[in-house]
Amino acid sequence: KKTEKVELKYGSHRIGKRDDAIMERWRSYGLGQFIHWGLYAIPGGEWNGKQYNGAAEWIRSWNGIPKSTYDSLIYKFDPIKFDAKQWAIEAKQMGAKYVIFTTKHHDGFCMWPSKYTSYTIKNSPFKKDVVKEVVDAYDAQGIDVYLYFSIIDWNHPGYQAGNAKPNPFTVESWKTYNPFSSKEKKDKYEEFKKFTRNQLVELLTNYPKAKGLWFDGTWDPAWMKQDGFTDSLEKELRALRPGLIIGSRFRADENGSRHFDSNGDLMGDYEQGWERKLPNKIEDVHGNDWDCVMTVPENQWGYNKAWKGHIKTSNELIEMTAKSVSLGGNFVLNFGPTGDGSIRLEEKKLASEIGNWMKTNGDAIYSSTYAGLEKQDWGYFTKKKGTDKINMIIFNTPISGTYRVKLPAGTAIAKSYQLASPSETLKVEEIHANEYFIHLNKTKGATPFVIVLETTKKV
Ligand code: JFZ
């Protein structure tokens, strides 16, 4: 944060964290589910037998694809296996406490029957309101719903990406930057702004159970230049739904600063910049609320029939969840259902493995947060809110079977046990003042081992 603050009209309107019950509930989630579902699930990353190398939900932007052909996928959207109740049951089994669902991705296709465009689910063979089914089914399972909404809309005639941002990008150059190449384009964009506003009001009106909006595609410089409009739109949406949760990825201030305004203050209720990456230490999150959204392969959100590269395992994903909570954030795992509405087997398996772990160990994740302790080699500390319970989530087991714990002065350990077997108490040995060894001895008899990396120069 900067020490000398500049006067901002459209910067952050709140310094520090929200302190209301709705936001406190958001903080308790620990684990969430993201769902990317739309027309792009039909090609699943493949067009005329050719694999698209980018993220499957971006396939419309692929050079070889006529846009009108992509848009006519609307006539093919008939997901006969779609069962929102089953999705919600499986999400609950995984242990997700919230879901973020794509109401409209960059292609502009609306998964709800919007009155403001004909490019919606209503005009597909499926016809039914998918957003309503998802909201109702997840709500019935006690999972809070957040609506993903893309500002980029490739289908709307008024949408445009805007001229390239000024380079160098400075406060001065941004002042005179004009995103529009003609008056006509500027006028059309005004229509697009009204359309966007109408759709957002429509979503909040139609789905009163939704707890928040998750914005995307707001890096578009035409949108970034709408400081006054986006600021008042955010105020309008918040007034319409008191308690509404909106992250930092919605608008830019008058100097073109996003997420954090020109004074370094967070714009929105939580930091939304942790995209397929995690902070490493508590300083990285600057005291803000945050969540991390993560894909199973490297970068595929929508369904891709040919996942490539490294596919994350449930242990990796559980570790990311633990690490997120240990640094005061939530972890959100993405799913990309297929064009017929089913969830692929790989994702079902991961969900059930994560769920099995959560059933035993979820107490260290839910309503838990940063413990204020120095990180240790064996894994992550979390602290159960409102209690004196510290959790040690172990990912690296020491061969010695002894786990080092350093507590603040004046803190003693009354009892230690594993969440999986609370009745078996573990031996606690005090090694210095406030420094302990917890003896698990699970690895008794194991011999230390060595992994060799023989290296050579890359050619
Ligand atoms: C965006 C979308 O383009 C993508 O299709 C997906 O919906 C994802 C959740 O969001 O992609 C992003 C957005 C932000 C960053 C990277 C990719 N970022 O901040 O680094």
Residue with CA nearest ligand 1 atom 14: 275
**Rounded distance from Cα 334 to ligand 1 centre (Å):** 12
The interface predicted TM-score of the complex, written ipTM, equals: 0.96
Using the predicted structure, report yes or no on whether residue 441 has a pLDDT greater than 80: no
Using the predicted structure, report yes or no on whether residue 399 has a pLDDT greater than 90: no
Kindly indicate the confidence band of residue 175, based on its pLDDT and cuts at 50, 70 and 90: very high
CB-ligand 1 contact for 298 (6 Å cutoff): no
Q: What local confidence, expressed as pLDDT, does residue 2 receive?
A: 54
CB-ligand 1 contact for 216 (6 Å cutoff): yes
What does the pLDDT average to over 307-314? Answer: 96
The 10s digit of each residue's pLDDT in 181-218 is 999 999 999 999 999 999 999 999 999 999 999 999 99
Q: What local confidence, expressed as pLDDT, does residue 355 receive?
A: 98
Backbone angles phi, psi at 356, to 5 degrees: -65, -40
Q: Among 18-32, 76-90, 440-454, whose mean pLDDT is lowest?
A: 440-454
Using the predicted structure, report yes or no on whether residue 350 has a pLDDT greater than 70: yes
Question: Is 0.90 surpassed by the pTM of this model?
Answer: yes
Q: Which atom of ligand 1 is least distant from the CA of 272? A: 19
Q: Which atom of ligand 1 is least distant from the CA of 293? A: 9
Q: Which atom of ligand 1 is least distant from the CA of 102? A: 7
Using the predicted structure, report yes or no on whether residue 453 has a pLDDT greater than 80: no
Q: What local confidence, expressed as pLDDT, does residue 449 receive?
A: 79
CB-ligand 1 contact for 340 (6 Å cutoff): no
Backbone angles phi, psi at 283, to 5 degrees: -65, -30
Rounded to the nearest integer, the mean pLDDT of the chain is 95
Percent of the chain clearing pLDDT 70 (strictly above): 98
Percent of the chain clearing pLDDT 90 (strictly above): 91
What does the pLDDT average to over 113-121? Answer: 98
Domains of the chain: 21-368 (3.20.20.80), 397-439 (no CATH)
Q: What local confidence, expressed as pLDDT, does residue 11 receive?
A: 98
Residue with CA nearest ligand 1 atom 17: 275
What does the pLDDT average to over 8-26? Answer: 97
Residue with CA nearest ligand 1 atom 7: 301
Kindly indicate the confidence band of residue 450, based on its pLDDT and cuts at 50, 70 and 90: confident
Q: What local confidence, expressed as pLDDT, does residue 445 receive?
A: 66
Using the predicted structure, report yes or no on whether residue 165 has a pLDDT greater than 90: yes
Helices 345-361 + 84-94 axis angle, to 10? 40
Enter the tokens of residue 187: 């006028």
The 10s digit of each residue's pLDDT in 37-90 is 999 999 999 999 999 999 999 999 998 899 999 999 999 999 999 999 999 999
Contact 128, 121 (CB under 8 A): yes
CB-ligand 1 contact for 107 (6 Å cutoff): no
Q: Which of 39, 59, 300, 301 to mutate to test the pocket of ligand 1 (most atoms within 8 A of CB)?
A: 301
The torsion angle over the Cα atoms of residues 20, 24, 27 and 31, rounded to 10 degrees, is -120
Residue from 16, 8, 30 nearest 270 by CA: 16
**Rounded distance from Cα 307 to ligand 1 centre (Å):** 18
Backbone angles phi, psi at 70, to 5 degrees: -60, -50
What does the pLDDT average to over 346-367? Answer: 97
Q: Which of 34, 109, 216, 335 to mutate to test the pocket of ligand 1 (most atoms within 8 A of CB)?
A: 216
Q: What local confidence, expressed as pLDDT, does residue 291 receive?
A: 98
Using the predicted structure, report yes or no on whether residue 231 has a pLDDT greater than 90: yes
Pairing of strands 330-335, 290-294: parallel
**Rounded distance from Cα 196 to ligand 1 centre (Å):** 19
